[in-house]
Amino acid sequence: MTRKMPIIITGAGQRLGLASAKALVAKGYQVIITYRKKREDIHVLESLGVVCIPADFSTLSGVDAFIEQIQNQYTALGGIIHNASEWDSEESSTDTALLMEKMWQVHVLAPYRINLAFETLLRAGATQDGQADIIHMTDYVVEKGSDKHIAYASSKAGLANLTLSFAKRFAPHISVNSIAPSLLMFNHDDEPEYRTKALNKSLLRKEPGEQEGVLAVQYILNSRYMTGRTLSLDGGRHLV
């Protein structure tokens, strides 16, 4: 079922967010995205009719400015996909306190404030479409932790827990679920040695590509009987 009400995808200027935006537009959805850097792909999305909003969720003022803009322009929403993310590590940070604050700001506080602020809009969207959805993009590391990305992993675990709490708060008309990817696609500059090592961490030993995440998004949006759950896209990594 294609929603009449618009769906927000945060951090959709590249990779999975970008692919999801294009796929939903192709299926007839109204799409709003946020981005931090205006890459060429943002112009492509705009040409497709996507509303593209610059937003910085690493600060509270940035989150609140985005919330105010949406509330001023829309009366109902069909869903929110929280895809905005940071991937900083302890090794690359000179201030671990700031690192932890940033990870929780982007991955937990921003979705938390946005979900609460848009509750009325989502309920209005559910009245129009029969259902509204929130999707949190978490991570496989929620299950096992990460010695190189400790702050990141902890914040994604916090986001996973928000899925449970908001599923309870927003039921029965707003469904809240998570997608927890492991490796979906490499970066262009990833070394061959790293690629081999990463592929060997899962049973299926493949780079499935962004489409695997897109299909997961579409599955959740089409589902009428799932909330408070996580779709794990890890190629059987938990069994290795």
Q: How far apart are the first and last CA of the chain?
A: 37
Residue 27, classified by CB atoms within 10 Å of its CB into exposed (0-12), middle (13-18) or buried (19+), is exposed
Q: Enter the tokens of residue 234.
A: 């890890």
How many angstroms separate the CA atoms of 169 and 96, rounded?
33
Looking at this protein, which amino acid is placed at residue 113?
A: R
Q: Which residue in the list 74, 140, 152, 225 is annotated as catalytic?
A: 152
In angstroms, the CA 134 to CA 214 distance is 15
With vertex at residue 217, the alpha carbon angle to CA 211 and CA 220, rounded to the nearest 5 degrees, is 140
**152 among known catalytic residues:** yes
Residue 12 exposed, middle or buried by CB count within 10 Å (0-12, 13-18, 19+): buried
Residue (of 125, 124, 156) closest to 140 by Cα position? 156
| Other C-beta atoms lying within 10 Å of the C-beta of residue 96 | 11
Q: Catalytic residue positions?
A: 152
